[in-house]
Amino acid sequence: METNSFQPTLDYAKQLDALDNLSRFREEFYVKPDSIYMDGNSLGLLSKRAERTLLESLADWREHGIDGWMQGTHPWFTLSEKLGEMSAGLVGASPEEVIVTGSTTVNLHQLVATFYEPQGERSKILADELTFPSDIYALQSQLRSRGYDPDTHLIRVKSRDGRFLEEEDIIAAMTDDIALIVLPTVLYRSGQILDMKRLTEEAHKRGILIGFDGCHSVGAIPHSFSEWDVDFAYWCNYKHLGGGPGSVGGLYVNRKHFGKNPGLAGWFGSRKDKQFDMEHTLTPAESAGAYQIGTPHVLSLAPLLGALEIFAEAGIANIRQKSLHINQYLIDLIEHELGEFGFYIGSPRDDVRRGGHVSLEHPEAARVCKSLKHNGIIPDFRAPNIIRLAPVALYNSYTEVWEVVQKLKKIMADKEYEQFKNEREVVA
């Protein structure tokens, strides 16, 4: 499908839907008929397969009790490893390099505790000023725990425009006093993709370890962590991957680091055959499994079994192709239909630099989002002025995108948004 044949008509949207080779997967999800869901980059919709595998794990508990750890449809003892194997292709890694465990922030704590090794003047951590706040909190906490002041030892690369980061600026900040770099794969506000390959190469030239937060990219774009020689990465599984609210996170460690003792040790990081020896000396797993800490949250792991089946069938390359096309279609419609209403597209225009959502800026963004929800459209708001719209390749249609823009046009033309306060809800 080519975007250069763009037409702003409903018939054109229906033609695109007829050509969509992923449209059959829409039936896999619980899509409300009276609503259009554009928030899959915050929480993905429930799939019928995710529901099925959750219920199967509940049945394992009901039927087997404690024997569910080794028996049943999905034995719990190796569930994190199985899901790591199922996730590996999405991040470009070998199965041994991926484990599904913890949460985004817990996994970041683990990885920084493991790989941040200050020596002499090389004692600072490099991040950026646009990253998700939880990452900054964790990095500040880790620095304090080592006796360093975050005000002097956490370096945050500045954005030139408040939307994007320039790789040149990040590279310039890779000075001799940097011990570790932690960056997002995709910026959560604008959707900009960072050049992970280039940044990893530049960090390693300077003897610096580098890791990435993949929360806004895993399940939306292909990755090649192993090929790029990334040292570590971590991500959540409840956004594009549809693992459900509070879904267990993912963690990648380059195999060249296997054998490095975990900074935060726990019994589920044990080698499997040694775990129940109950010794007071840890024998770590010889894989990314070593960086697990506590007992896995089985009922929050189980939906991923079904969700990842869908990704294996659809293929991440196909998902990315449709995601790029449907997001470009959204941008084209916005420019054609909403030009008079003061919107600004705050996402990269270049496909190589744009992730899985479109960031739409407007001074009245909070009340516009409330008006959209009042009209059955679920967007996402980020203070102070961003409406994030994420047409998800597996369940959103081109017709839905057309309808969203038409509804947004009516909301603005009729000033429907003025009935709402221009402030965020408790959960934005």
Condensed to tens digits (0 to 9), the pLDDT of residues 301-356 reads 999 999 999 999 999 999 999 999 999 999 999 999 999 999 999 999 999 999 99
The CA-atom distances, in angstroms, between 187 and each of 133, 242, 353, 356, 364 are 12, 20, 10, 11, 22
Domain match, 136 and 227 both: yes
Domain match, 109 and 194 both: yes
Q: Is 134 annotated as a binding residue?
A: yes
Is 427 inside a domain boundary?
no
- Give the whole-angstrom CA distance, residue 160 versus residue 247: 35
338-346's contacts with Cβ under 8 Å and 24+ in sequence apart are 338/405, 338/408, 338/409, 338/412, 341/409, 341/412, 341/413, 346/163, 346/189, 346/190, 346/386
- Give the whole-angstrom CA distance, residue 49 versus residue 187: 30
The CA-atom distances, in angstroms, between 399 and each of 26, 380, 403, 410 are 13, 20, 6, 17
Domain of 349, in residue numbers: 3-30+315-416
Over range 241-262, report the average pLDDT.
98
- Give the whole-angstrom CA distance, residue 303 versus residue 288: 21
Q: Is 216 annotated as a binding residue?
A: yes
Q: Is 267 annotated as a binding residue?
A: yes
Domain match, 60 and 10 both: no
Domain match, 197 and 286 both: yes
How does the average pLDDT of the chain come out, rounded?
Answer: 97
Packing angle of the helix pair 104-115, 133-145 (nearest 10 deg): 40
Q: What is the pLDDT of residues 258-276, one digit of tens each?
A: 999 999 999 999 999 999 9
Q: Is 336 annotated as a binding residue?
A: no
Looking at the whole model, is its pTM more than 0.85?
A: yes
Helix or strand run (H / E) with residue 157: strand 154-157
DSSP-derived secondary structure for 339-375: GGGT-EE-S-SSGGGB-S-EEEE-TTHHHHHHHHHHT
Q: Is 213 annotated as a binding residue?
A: yes
More confident residue, 5 or 346: 346
Task: Give pLDDT, residue 4.
Answer: 55
pLDDT higher than threshold 90 for residue 62: yes
Is 422 inside a domain boundary?
no
Domain match, 285 and 353 both: no
Domain match, 280 and 339 both: no
Is 137 inside a domain boundary?
yes
Q: Is 104 annotated as a binding residue?
A: yes
Task: Give pLDDT, residue 3.
Answer: 44
User: What radius of gyration, in Å, describes the C-alpha atoms of the chain?
Assistant: 22
Is 409 inside a domain boundary?
yes
Which one, of 365, 319, 299, 128, lies nearest residue 222 by Cα?
Answer: 319
Is 41 inside a domain boundary?
no
Task: Give pLDDT, residue 232.
Answer: 99
- The amino acid sitting at 123 is S
pLDDT higher than threshold 50 for residue 251: yes
Task: Give pLDDT, residue 342.
Answer: 96
CB atoms within 10 A of CB 79: 21
Domain match, 302 and 404 both: no
Domain match, 15 and 160 both: no
Domain match, 334 and 308 both: no
pLDDT higher than threshold 50 for residue 392: yes
Q: What CATH number does residue 200 fall under? A: 3.40.640.10
Task: Give pLDDT, residue 5.
Answer: 87
- 122: CB partners within 8 A, 6+ apart: 176, 177, 178, 179
Domain limit, last residue, from 312, 340, 364: 312
Q: What is the pLDDT of residues 92-123, one digit of tens each?
A: 999 999 999 999 999 999 999 999 999 999 99
Task: Give pLDDT, residue 425.
Answer: 82
Q: What is the pLDDT of residues 167-217, one digit of tens each?
A: 999 999 999 999 999 999 999 999 999 999 999 999 999 999 999 999 999
- Give the whole-angstrom CA distance, residue 122 versus residue 177: 4
Task: Give pLDDT, residue 103.
Answer: 98
Binned at pLDDT 50, 70 and 90, residue 424 comes out as confident
- Give the whole-angstrom CA distance, residue 228 versus residue 211: 11
- Give the whole-angstrom CA distance, residue 20 versus residue 397: 9
Q: Phi/psi of residue 57, each to 5°? A: -70, -35
Query: How many structural domains comprise the chain?
Result: 2
Q: What CATH number does residue 389 fall under? A: 3.90.1150.10
b vs e for 382-409, b when ≥16 Cβ sit within 10 Å of the residue's Cβ? Answer: beebbbbbbbbbbbbbbebbbbbbebbb
Q: 249 and 106 in contact (C-beta within 8 Å)?
A: yes
Task: Give pLDDT, residue 172.
Answer: 98
Is 55 inside a domain boundary?
yes
Q: Is 295 annotated as a binding residue?
A: yes
Domain limit, last residue, from 312, 327, 349: 312
C-alpha distance across the termini of the chain, in Å: 34
Domain match, 128 and 276 both: yes
